[in-house]
């Protein structure tokens, strides 16, 4: 039996559910500036595969890395957080 890599999982808020079987999720992180040691927020948007169109705007979801499903979709929804 071969062991696969552990897939990265992220949590974020759905900001768009207008596409078919795709949602856009924003992940907000707090980083520390290397020189000035000030905390600041960064946001990144991910296109996530939602095969049943089950998630709507403002849902908090957990999603994981998967093989590429399209040009920009490389993530799949796991569950609602």
Domain range 9-80, CATH class: mainly beta
Return all residues near 25 (Cβ < 8 A) that are at least 6 apart: 10, 12, 13, 14, 15, 45, 46, 48, 61, 63, 75
* Per-residue pLDDT in tens (0 to 9) along the chain, 81 residues: 567 778 999 999 999 999 999 999 999 999 999 999 999 999 999 999 999 999 999 999 999 999 999 999 999 999 998
pTM equals 0.89
């Amino acid at each position: 039996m071969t062991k696969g890599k552990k897939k990265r999982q992220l949590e974020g808020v759905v900001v768009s559910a207008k596409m078919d079987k795709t949602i856009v999720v924003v992940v907000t992180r707090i980083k520390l500036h290397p020189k000035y040691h000030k905390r600041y927020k960064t946001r990144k948007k991910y296109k996530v595969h939602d095969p049943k169109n089950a998630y709507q705007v403002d849902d908090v979801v957990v999603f994981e890395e998967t093989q590429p499903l399209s040009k920009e979709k490389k993530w799949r929804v796991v569950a609602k957080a």
